[in-house]
Amino acid sequence: MGGLKCAECEEPAELKCSACKLVAYCGKEHQKKHWKEHKNLCRPFEIVTDPEKGKCLVATRDLQPGDLILVENPIVYGPRPHMVEEGPVPCPGCCRLIIADNSARCDGCDFPICNPDCPGLKDMDRHGHECMILGLRDVKAINGLHDFYRQDALLTLRCLLLQNRHPKKFAQLLEMNSHQDKRGEDTETYKINESRVVDYLQDNFFAPMRILEGKSGKQVLKDISKEIIHQICGIVDVNALEINQDAEVTALYPTAFLMEHNCLSNTKHMFDNADKGYTITIRASLPIAKGDHISTMYTHALWGTQARREHLRETKYFSCKCLRCADPTELGTYLSALKCIGTQDDEPCGGIQLPIDPLDDNTEWACNKCDAKLTNHEVCFLVNQIGEEVDNVQLSNPTVRELDSILTKMLNFVHPNHYHVYSVKHSLVQLYGKDKDRLSARIHAKSTKRRHNC
């Protein structure tokens, strides 16, 4: 029992409060009896409706860094959507990446799997239930036909299967925002989901399922309309969290999805492994005052403001207006700043270019030392060109020399703290870690140079 004592009678206890995990009880009766005292110390937040942001979590008491906010299990989880034509794909049982061409196949549905003994294959909340649907397709595929086995449709199918096995969870799922009003038939997102997921599921699996339902008189799934499938695709895109452990997992949580985005989030979260069902634990990472909104980050912390805001608009359908996004310097980090190419007295001015109004997508950029200005179009063109070069180099299995070369070139145009600079430096650190002799030599050379300069 690990020395836990009942909060009511102080006898040995093993039943923890499922909401906060902070107290334990010897039984249900003492848990009920203690609730009046415990409820004010349980979950330290309430769900409120903000006129601008919708439903969100607001702290009901002051929280310090490290304080527990929430522990909960996912409503549903599955393989992270993979829209690939080659390379590894996730096993539907455990979500670990496998090479489909050389892998074993599921006896029930013929999908590529890691091995026939994978525990998730028979688990009805993982692959077991969906396998019955996937096995209805008559045609079998040859090895390596990625389009035949679309792992990007599996999580949507698992969500649909909640209708029968877990109707309360399905109702929770449908309460999540899908932003269907911004994913209409004329959008690229709608067309991709229509082809990759909706038609794939309906033509290959739901059509034969309906035939069997007609013969047996038993309904397997009530709603498999195009509308509900598109809605679930939106719910997954907008609300799911990605889990990066020893597998590639996407999960939907009943409360955590209500955390709003902030580029200076005040929480941190961690996931338990598959054996514990990918339980999420959320703790405060900054002091949170009573009444403050509880937030997380749904984009990349080391991206610049324009990249973050564009990503959020495309995936979460809102424009961030947080303190970091509103500050031209990004709170003194200069992650988006450019070197000014203006001159003073025929010499480089040495200034930096910053956006005049970062929340205006078409803002001009101005130097902090001279009168030179750039249009947002010019800035975007330069930053995108640099980004493409960085991506091309990083995808080519680069050497230290190649990364050093692009870094030197880049620093002629961007601030030393620019996010593209950090991306290249991160790659360099990884290469140095693989080549310790080279790293020692570089450190020795720099140390010698410093002594010589002194």
- The whole-angstrom separation of Cα 438 and Cα 325 is 39
Compare 226 and 343 and report the one with higher pLDDT: 226
DSSP state letters, 313-364: HHHTS-----HHHHSTTTTTT-TT-EE---EETTEE---EEEES-TTSTT--
Given a cut of 70, whether residue 453 has pLDDT beyond it is no
Mean pLDDT of 224-235: 97
* Residue-level pLDDT at 35: 82
Given a cut of 80, whether residue 451 has pLDDT beyond it is no
* Residue-level pLDDT at 143: 47
Share of the chain above pLDDT 90, in %: 70
- The whole-angstrom separation of Cα 305 and Cα 452 is 41
The angle subtended at Cα 86 by Cα 301 and Cα 384, nearest 5°, is 35
- The whole-angstrom separation of Cα 167 and Cα 177 is 18
Q: How confident is the model at residue 329 (pLDDT cuts 50, 70, 90)?
A: very high
Helices 419-434 and 436-453 cross at an angle (nearest 10°) of 120
Q: How confident is the model at residue 140 (pLDDT cuts 50, 70, 90)?
A: low
- The whole-angstrom separation of Cα 310 and Cα 328 is 16
Given a cut of 60, whether residue 450 has pLDDT beyond it is no
**pLDDT, tens digit, for every residue of 30-82?**
888 888 877 767 789 999 999 888 899 999 999 999 999 999 999 999 998 76
- State the Cα torsion 396-339-303-355 to the nearest 10°: -140
* Residue-level pLDDT at 81: 76
The answer for residues whose C-beta is within 8 angstroms of residue 125's C-beta and 6 or more apart is 76, 165
Q: How confident is the model at residue 114 (pLDDT cuts 50, 70, 90)?
A: very high
* Residue-level pLDDT at 82: 66
Share of the chain above pLDDT 70, in %: 92
Mean pLDDT of 400-423: 96
* Residue-level pLDDT at 1: 42
- 273 touches 290 (CB < 8 A): no
Residue 262, φ and ψ in degrees, nearest 5: -155, 135
- The whole-angstrom separation of Cα 376 and Cα 368 is 16
- The whole-angstrom separation of Cα 343 and Cα 144 is 58
Mean pLDDT of 1-8: 76
CA distances from 424 to 302, 308, 440 (A): 12, 18, 20
Q: Say which DSSP state 181 is in.
A: G
Tokens describing residue 349? 């001015």
Compute the mean pLDDT over every residue in the chain, rounded to the nearest whole number: 89
- The whole-angstrom separation of Cα 190 and Cα 204 is 19
Report the SS3 class of residue 372. coil
Residue 15, φ and ψ in degrees, nearest 5: -95, 100
Nearest to 336 by CA among 302, 360, 286, 293: 302
- The whole-angstrom separation of Cα 317 and Cα 299 is 12
* Residue-level pLDDT at 440: 53
Single pTM value for the model: 0.85
Q: How confident is the model at residue 443 (pLDDT cuts 50, 70, 90)?
A: very low
* Residue-level pLDDT at 454: 44
- The whole-angstrom separation of Cα 100 and Cα 143 is 7
Report the SS3 class of residue 243. strand
* Residue-level pLDDT at 86: 67
DSSP state letters, 115-153: -TT-GGGT-TTTHHHHHHHHTT--PPPPTT-TTTS-GGG
Report the SS3 class of residue 259. coil
